[in-house]
A and B are shown apart, each in its own frame.
Chain A
Amino acid sequence: MNQFISLTFEGVANGAIYAALGLSLVIIYQATRVVNFAQPALALIAVYVAYTVTQATGSYWLGFASAMLGGTLLGMLTERLLVRPVQGKSQLNAIILTLGLLLALQGVAGMIWGNLQHSFPPPMSFRDLAAVPISPEEIFSLAAVAVVAVALFLLYRLTPLGLRMRAAAFRPESARLSGVRVGLMLTTGWGIASAIGALAGMLAVPPLLSPTVLDAVFVYGIAAAVLGGLDNPFGALAGGMVMGVGLSYVSGYVGSELTTLAALVILIVVLSLRPAGLFSRSTVRKV
């Protein structure tokens, strides 16, 4: 029973990370109809920036802040310079573009910081809270993602900026006719999404940092986004939780090597029943 509880908490904390990554993918997909395969690489660079800043200043939180900033900037640059010119053309081209960016950025990370692993301690030192089977790290992950999710919800629903961003994502032409600078909204959306991706990276990386450390997490993040329905941010959160908890049980009870295969099975099962994801709002295609 104890194992079940601690596995559940671990699953929920991991789920928060996958949810964050899935959320960043959904925000971008909603706005520009592109699955940003470069997201783990953008997050990776942001985390490396944090590492460098922390090494230089000794402060984790300064590093954290620079990761958020760096992630935002990278996302905005990517949209403006690379994605905008090829938008609207084939979906495969957009996928290849982001794949190219993924490979290039991973390579650049290896070039600048080396292929070896660096130690990357989490914000709170590991102190067993004897009463509860959950670590401070896990609480931090959950809290951080929850705060972000709520902030995003408030931004989208209550602020004029959020309204503009949603309009630009749902129906860019109507938004333009209402005076919304759609291009700027898309760039902002990518910036916010990449910041969230950078957060997911900061939560996922400890204890070791290397160019390929985010690969597995990314697969689960994509799975979370796809599972929930690529056009629904809530879906990404739910999908992340399903992935996190499900994979935690598989890892604990069956074997950690099978987690990715389990992710595949969960994905196939859900998508067979609902090919557009659990919470997708997609409409039937008009013929």
Chain B
Amino acid sequence: MSDTPILQIENLSTYYGAVQALRSVDLTVRAGEICAVLGANGAGKTTLLRTVSGLQPAAPGSRVRVDGVDITRHPAESMVRHGLAHVPEGGGVIVELTVEENLRLGGLWRADRRDRAKALDEVYELFPPLVERRDRPAGTLSGGERQMVAIGRALMARPRVLLLDEPSLGLAPLVTRQIMQLLHDLRDRTGLTVVLVEQNAASALSITDHGFVLSQGAVVARGSSAELLADDRMRHAYLGF
């Protein structure tokens, strides 16, 4: 874990029609961190990720930088080129395509075919269950396997920052633990930075280094995961435990 910031979000606001969903969010994630974005339902966690990755337009005055490069208001399609990969809520797996097609899709933007093939092999090494299912339509997979496809597809882009929106949703605790362990290993090996949105704050804080708590579109608490876990008042007020 280095000290250089790899994702810098400044004064980020966005609107759904007339409703302001994010209020001047400021947050910085350092390279190699695994950080949690927490908060109750409707606090703006998903909106935050979507606005960072360009699916949701950022209001004027916002600034988002990845490794120093300003990506504010860039189209979502350009994010993988900047090293940012986003696994949306539910995974976003394309059920009509096969597992392998889903994975290959993630690496298509890169021109070097050998590089793409290598990345695909690496993803299969990370997720062995996908190997024997590679030619099956993604819609026939279980929830856990589909989440593997979703994360695998994002990893095909060899991102430096990985945004994950509730990866544990609908998954058994064992599968969740495996995925989290995997992310830890990846971070240790490659320096991958992970931003994790989670409803289940307790389990998120147990595996992350750092956390931010959102409420009604604004950041209300930030600190190391240990600090946040220790802050009883904040936990009761915003995280429900």
Contact = CB atoms under 8 A, between A and B. Distances in A.
Interface stretch (B40-48, B73-81, B211-219): B73-81
A166 B92 CA distance: 14
B96 A163 contact: no
B92 A171 contact: yes
Contacts of A174: 88, 92-94, 105
Contact of B105 (A178, A181, A182, A281): A178
A26 to B, nearest CB: 14
B188 to A, nearest CB: 25
Contacts of A281: 96
Contacts of A170: 94-97
A179 B55 contact: no
A167 B97 contact: yes
Nearest to B103: A178
B105 A164 contact: yes
Given A163-B105, A167-B105, A179 B96 contact: no
A171 B108 contact: no
B85 to A, nearest CB: 7
Interface string B30-53: 000000000000000000000001
Interface string A173-204: 11111111110000000000000000000000
Contacts of B63: none
Contacts of A180: 77, 105, 108-109
A160 B78 CA distance: 18
B104 A163 contact: yes
Interface string A120-146: 000000000000000000000000000
A164 B97 CA distance: 11
Interface in A220-238: none
Nearest to A160: B108
Give the size range of B's interface with the partner: 20 to 34
B157 A166 contact: no
A218 B50 CA distance: 42
Contact of B53 (A166, A177, A182): A177
A22 B106 CA distance: 31
A177 B94 contact: no
Contacts of A163: 97, 101, 104-105, 108
Contact of A178 (B75, B96, B109): B109
B160 interface: no
B76 A176 contact: yes
Most buried by A among B54, B75, B87, B108: B108
Contacts of B154: 177
A175 B88 contact: no
Contacts of B94: 166-167, 170-171, 174-175
A8 to B, nearest CB: 35
Contacts of B101: 163, 166
B97 A178 contact: no
Contacts of B184: none
Interface in B44-71: 53-55
Contacts of B210: none
B153 A173 contact: no
A174 B81 CA distance: 15
A268 to B, nearest CB: 29
Given A176-B55, A178-B106, A178-B157, A166 B88 contact: no
A164 B94 CA distance: 12
Contacts of B109: 178-180
Nearest to A175: B105
Nearest to B81: A179
Contacts of A177: 53, 55, 76, 79-80, 85-88, 92, 154
7 contacts: A163-B97, A163-B101, A164-B105, A173-B55, A174-B93, A177-B92, A179-B109
Interface of B: 53-55, 75-81, 85-88, 92-97, 101, 104-106, 108-109, 153-154, 157
Interface of A: 160, 163-164, 166-167, 170-171, 173-182, 281
Q: Closest 3 CB pairs between A and B? A: A179-B109, A174-B92, A179-B80
